[in-house]
Amino acid sequence: MSELNLLRQTIHFEDPLPLQSGASLSHYDLVVETYGKLNAQANNAVLICHALNASHHVAGPSPDDPKDIGWWDNMVGPGKPVDTNLFFVIGVNNLGSCFGSTGPMSINLESKEPYGAHFPVVTVEDWVEAQARLADRLGIRCFAAVMGGSLGGMQAMAWATQYPERVAHCVVIASTPKLSAQNIAFNEVARNAILSDPDFHGGNYYKYGVVPKSGLRLARMVGHITYLSGDDMAEKFGRDLQRAVGASDEYKFSFDVEFAVESYLRHQGDKFSTYFDANTYLLITRALDYFDPARRFDGDLSRALAKAQAQFLVISFSTDWRFAPERSREIVKALLDNKHQVTYAEIDAPHGHDAFLLDDLRYHGIARAYFEKIYEQIETKIGST
């Protein structure tokens, strides 16, 4: 078999899901994509957790739009580092998101209207609870690996402590054990852009037939700056002026787009604001802010990670200033304090936080080698039973 074997399904859950905030979701849907094949022992499953703006669509062309390639297609697929010829890979759209799983755009069956502002605030830990129910439904008792980048890495870490016996390997890429004040500050600017958009209507904009597009656009522009490194921006755009070929390169002395970087950010913002939901942006940035597993342990991350049983692979990127290598080293230190199994690679890459989504031989080489070892362990286990 060397096909991706993509299967997309929407799975409905009727058991109420209690949330960290004290609220609960009485019923909900999760949109899921799976790739490859679950083996008879059901021990080759890999859960891929998504970050802010991604979805269940991890790999391959989308069933409804062949041009829409999965967000981690360079990592997951036949012959890729996470090889779907060997592993059964699961992508799940998280609660509160806007790609089909229950979120602010969904109809609240009680009010018969979209949830909008009434959708409860969800946390990384809540997502893991929902994912655990999904695993139950799919017949997976223990994942070969739970893996994610950025916010996805937070979910992988949360899995390792919420369900220590259900995660054999935990792969945490370009992530952090908690947001810094600077990280929260950027999120706050982004949220403020949305909240202050006149089309926001307190989060209930759906019924007015509008979306807070300019706020969402601005939020994305701010966010996008934090995904790139200064060097990367300098190389891509420098101080290049945005001019048609042959046009004058004199300054225009106006506030129109002058520099190439402005054009790029506006383009990113425009694109994003056509497909993403503003309420989801608020919810997911808040989930990022709240994540802090050490908080219940007097800030001691080592104690927070004590009960993990998984083996860890932690990867960071040298020019990532959003979740810098220092943040990953905090995770590594906490794991070492507990004598947990851990491998840490610090990839020298110029692309800032976004590097975790990009092609890089060293990065993908480490991931590939690590998953090959995971597969060897699975085969050994099967051989010995």
Which residues bind to other proteins, rule: CB under 8 A? 329, 332-333, 336-337, 339, 341-346, 348, 362, 365-366, 369-370, 372-373, 376
Active site residue 118: no
**What's the CA gap between 289 and 285, in Å, rounded?**
6
Active site residue 353: yes
Place of tokens 């739009």: 65
Cα 238-189-181 angle, rounded to 5 deg: 95
C-beta separation of 276 from 53 below 8 A: yes
- Compute the least distance from the CB of residue 372 to other proteins, in Å: 8
- Compute the least distance from the CB of residue 185 to other proteins, in Å: 27
- Compute the least distance from the CB of residue 332 to other proteins, in Å: 6
- Compute the least distance from the CB of residue 180 to other proteins, in Å: 18
Comparing CB distances to other proteins, the nearer of 193 and 314 is 314
- Compute the least distance from the CB of residue 166 to other proteins, in Å: 22
Comparing CB distances to other proteins, the nearer of 39 and 302 is 302
Q: Of 55, 106, 150, 316, which is the active-site residue?
A: 150
Q: Of 106, 353, 354, 360, which is the active-site residue?
A: 353
Q: Of 197, 277, 320, 360, which is the active-site residue?
A: 320
Active site residue 320: yes
Q: 74-98 in b/e burial notation, b at 16+ Cβ within 10 A?
A: bbbbbebbbbbbbbbbbbbbbbbbb
The β-bridge relationship of strands 17-18 and 24-25 is antiparallel
Residues 6+ apart with CB under 8 A from 323: 150, 174, 175, 176, 183, 316, 353
Nearest 5°: phi and psi at 146?
A: -115, 130
- Compute the least distance from the CB of residue 339 to other proteins, in Å: 7
Comparing CB distances to other proteins, the nearer of 137 and 362 is 362
- Compute the least distance from the CB of residue 252 to other proteins, in Å: 46
Place of tokens 């909240």: 195
Comparing CB distances to other proteins, the nearer of 199 and 346 is 346
Taken in order 162, 164, 169, 172, the sign of the CA dihedral is positive
Comparing CB distances to other proteins, the nearer of 25 and 86 is 86
Render 57-96 in DSSP notation, one character per residue.
--SSEETTEEEEE-TTTTTEETTSSEETTT-EEEEEPPTT
Comparing CB distances to other proteins, the nearer of 135 and 332 is 332
Render 18-36 in DSSP notation, one character per residue.
E-TTS-EESSEEEEEEEES
C-beta separation of 31 from 99 below 8 A: yes
C-beta separation of 341 from 370 below 8 A: no
**What's the CA gap between 352 and 229, in Å, rounded?**
4
Comparing CB distances to other proteins, the nearer of 282 and 331 is 331
Instruction: Give me the active site residues, please.
Output: 150, 320, 353
